[in-house]
């Protein structure tokens, strides 16, 4: 069992280009999340999905879009990248609605540089 | 919304104890999490508190006081591998997490 995988591991992107970060989980978790992590700011929620077919906006959604066509996949798209989107992006998932604390588990991250 | 504060950096000696404090303000508290994050890696779950009191897990313990909006993570018998960032995260009733900026702990020999 891999848990959560993200691709690519790192990417350098020219400003204005479109980019999709991929996230796949094999834990059959209902909820999935995208965060960005910047030095001194901690993890900030970009978008989330409580279940397949639904998505919601987090704290910093502008410039990003997501889709949740099935339980396992939750891609994050930057339609037209800007340098301020240079960051480390983490995908996470949680069971949501289970009997436990609904702990979020994180993927290994994608380091994105926009020039 | 959330306002989560934790110290930026702490340094301690191998074998010692370190306490990382976290204070928060929230309109609907539904649990507090601590995560460990080594440089260049993903955050990994350490502990969860939803009721007041102390939760102990081996060398790590976490405490919560909901009335004071306060938690701490206690790391005992520090080892070099404990050098990492420790993230405090608060969950509100909508199940979304808000994270503090993290505390970088450096363990010296």
Distance of alpha carbon B31 from alpha carbon B12, whole angstroms: 28
* Interface probe with A: pick from B22, B96, B98, most Cβ of A within 10 Å: B96
Q: Which residues of A91-111 are buried (b: 16+ CB within 10 A; e: fewer)?
A: bbbbbbeeeebbbbbbbebbe
**CB contacts, 8 Å: B55 with chain A:** none
Please state the length of chain A. 115
**CB contacts, 8 Å: A61 with chain B:** none
pLDDT at B75 over 60: yes
Among residues of chain A, what percentage have pLDDT more than 70? 96
B88 φ, ψ (degrees, to nearest 5): -95, 130
Candidate from A44, A96, A109 with C-beta closest to B95: A96
Supply the pLDDT for residue A100: 63
* Structure tokens given for B16: 């010692």
Inter-chain touch B101–A41, beta carbons under 8 Å: yes
Supply the pLDDT for residue B1: 46
Tell me the longest C-alpha to C-alpha distance in chain B: 43
Tokens 């891999």 sit at which residue?
Answer: A2
pLDDT at B95 over 90: no
**CB contacts, 8 Å: A96 with chain B:** 95
Chain segment A2-56, per-residue pLDDT in tens: 799 999 999 999 999 999 999 999 999 999 999 999 988 889 999 999 999 999 9
């Amino acid at each position: 069992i891999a848990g959560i995988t993200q691709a690519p591991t790192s990417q350098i992107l020219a400003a204005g280009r479109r980019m999709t970060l991929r996230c796949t989980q094999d834990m059959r978790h209902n909820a999935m999340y995208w965060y960005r992590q910047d030095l001194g700011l901690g993890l900030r929620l970009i978008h989330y999905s409580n279940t397949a077919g639904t998505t919601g906006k987090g704290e910093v959604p502008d410039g990003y879009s997501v889709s949740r066509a099935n339980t396992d996949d939750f891609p994050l798209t930057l339609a037209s990248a800007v340098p301020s989107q240079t960051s480390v992006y983490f995908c996470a998932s949680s069971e949501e609605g289970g009997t436990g604390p609904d702990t979020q588990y994180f993927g290994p991250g994608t380091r994105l540089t926009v020039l | 919304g959330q306002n989560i504060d934790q110290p930026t950096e702490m340094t301690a000696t191998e074998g010692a104890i370190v306490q990382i404090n976290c204070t928060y303000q929230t309109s609907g508290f539904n649990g507090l999490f601590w995560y460990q994050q080594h440089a260049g890696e993903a955050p990994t779950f350490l502990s969860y508190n939803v009721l007041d009191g102390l939760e102990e897990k081996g060398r790590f313990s976490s405490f919560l006081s909901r009335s004071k909006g306060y938690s701490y993570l206690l790391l005992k018998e520090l080892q070099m591998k404990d050098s990492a960032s420790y993230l405090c995260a608060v969950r509100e009733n909508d199940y979304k997490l808000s994270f503090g900026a993290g505390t970088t702990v450096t363990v010296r020999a």
